[in-house]
């Protein structure tokens, strides 16, 4: 099974392994919680304001959640890049944590240390992207003590999970089923037309009809999914505009 004891640079509080609190009330307070099963900070709507001095798996922002429960990711990886200045500009790179990708940026001056600015894309990927991806960024070993089990792994290059029939190596980025792989890594799939219709977490505020692109039948289909986690499309029109034009609703 994909390992959830990821490498860290700090201590993870006990609350990060707890379920988010089930607040009683009719209010709609948008917050974040940490899902230990997939190493992700996710949106959740709470029924009441957070109590003062309450120590629970609930955060006001994704940055607070990540800094508390994901210390293996540098805190500055969630910072916005500096604004473009006038004068001589240098091409640098920054990590967009929302899109889970490093982008080029032009700034005035050098890339300061311990900031979300890097001289190369490779360094940006190494310091911010790969730790953020966690298990999903780990390449399978070339050699290992093989088991009798074949695994599914996430491929950074193709942006999807695949069935590894060549190496029966357990460890990180080794999942027993395709669904297990996608539950853990689907939020990083860059092309929404390649996402599969499933719920990545057991906790969700609002379920509704969403749409995904069936790559085999080449058309958009509906499924009941969580509106909180960004999997699939909110409506049919968005799906058909984003995916191949021969798609039709099913």
Q: What is the pLDDT of residue 5?
A: 40
The C-alpha atoms of residue 81 and residue 83 are separated, in whole angstroms, by: 6
Q: What is the pLDDT of residue 133?
A: 96
Q: What is the pLDDT of residue 25?
A: 66
The C-alpha atoms of residue 125 and residue 131 are separated, in whole angstroms, by: 8
Please tell me the CATH code under which domain 75-134 is placed.
Answer: 4.10.410.10
| Beta strand residue intervals within the chain, DSSP E | 29-35, 40-46, 90-96, 101-107, 151-155, 160-164, 207-214, 219-226
Same CATH topology for 14-69 and 202-250: the answer is yes
Distances (CA, A) of 75 to 11, 63, 108, 203: 14, 8, 23, 25
Q: What is the pLDDT of residue 50?
A: 80
Averaged pLDDT in 10-residue chunks for the chain of 250 residues: 42 93 79 95 88 87 92 92 71 92 87 90 97 95 84 95 92 95 95 93 91 94 90 94 68
Does residue 72 contact residue 7 with C-beta atoms inside 8 Å? yes
Domain ranges (residues) in the chain: 14-69, 75-134, 138-190, 202-250
E strand or H helix at 65, and its extent?
A: helix 62-69
- Which CATH topology does 138-190 take? Factor Xa Inhibitor (4.10.410)
Does residue 228 contact residue 205 with C-beta atoms inside 8 Å? yes
| Dihedral of the alpha carbons of 26, 30, 35, 40, in degrees to the nearest 10 | 160
The answer for residues whose C-beta is within 8 angstroms of residue 74's C-beta and 6 or more apart is 9, 114, 127, 128, 131
Please tell me the CATH code under which domain 14-69 is placed.
Answer: 4.10.410.10
The C-alpha atoms of residue 249 and residue 118 are separated, in whole angstroms, by: 43
Residue 103, φ and ψ in degrees, nearest 5:
-125, 155
Output the CA angle 84-89-90, nearest 5 degrees. Answer: 105
Q: What is the pLDDT of residue 9?
A: 45
Please tell me the CATH code under which domain 202-250 is placed.
Answer: 4.10.410.10
Q: What is the pLDDT of residue 10?
A: 60
Q: What is the pLDDT of residue 246?
A: 57
């Amino acid at each position: 099974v994909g390992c959830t004891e990821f490498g860290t640079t700090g201590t993870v509080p006990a609350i990060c392994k707890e379920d988010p609190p089930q607040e009683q009330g009719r209010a709609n307070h948008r917050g974040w919680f940490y899902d230990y099963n997939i190493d992700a900070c996710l949106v959740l709507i709470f029924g009441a304001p957070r109590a003062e001095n309450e120590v629970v798996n609930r955060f006001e922002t994704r940055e607070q959640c990540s800094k508390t429960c994901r210390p293996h990711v540098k805190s500055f990886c969630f910072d916005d890049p500096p604004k473009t200045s006038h004068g001589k500009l240098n091409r640098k790179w920054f990590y967009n944590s929302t899109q889970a990708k490093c982008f080029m940026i032009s700034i005035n001056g050098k890339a300061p240390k311990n900031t979300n600015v890097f001289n190369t894309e490779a360094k940006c990927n190494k310091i911010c992207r790969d730790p953020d991806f966690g298990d999903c960024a780990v390449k399978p070993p070339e050699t290992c003590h093989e088991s009798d089990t074949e695994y599914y792994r996430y491929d950074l290059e193709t942006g999807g999970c695949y069935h590894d029939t060549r190496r029966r190596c357990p460890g990180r980025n080794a999942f027993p089923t395709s669904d297990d792989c996608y539950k853990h890594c689907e939020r990083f799939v860059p092309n929404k037309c390649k996402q599969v219709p499933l719920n990545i977490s057991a906790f969700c505020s609002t379920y509704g009809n969403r749409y995904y692109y069936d790559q085999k039948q080449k058309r958009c289909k509906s499924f009941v999914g969580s509106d909180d986690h960004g999997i699939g499309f909110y409506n049919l029109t968005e799906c058909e505009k984003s995916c191949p034009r021969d798609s039709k609703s099913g």
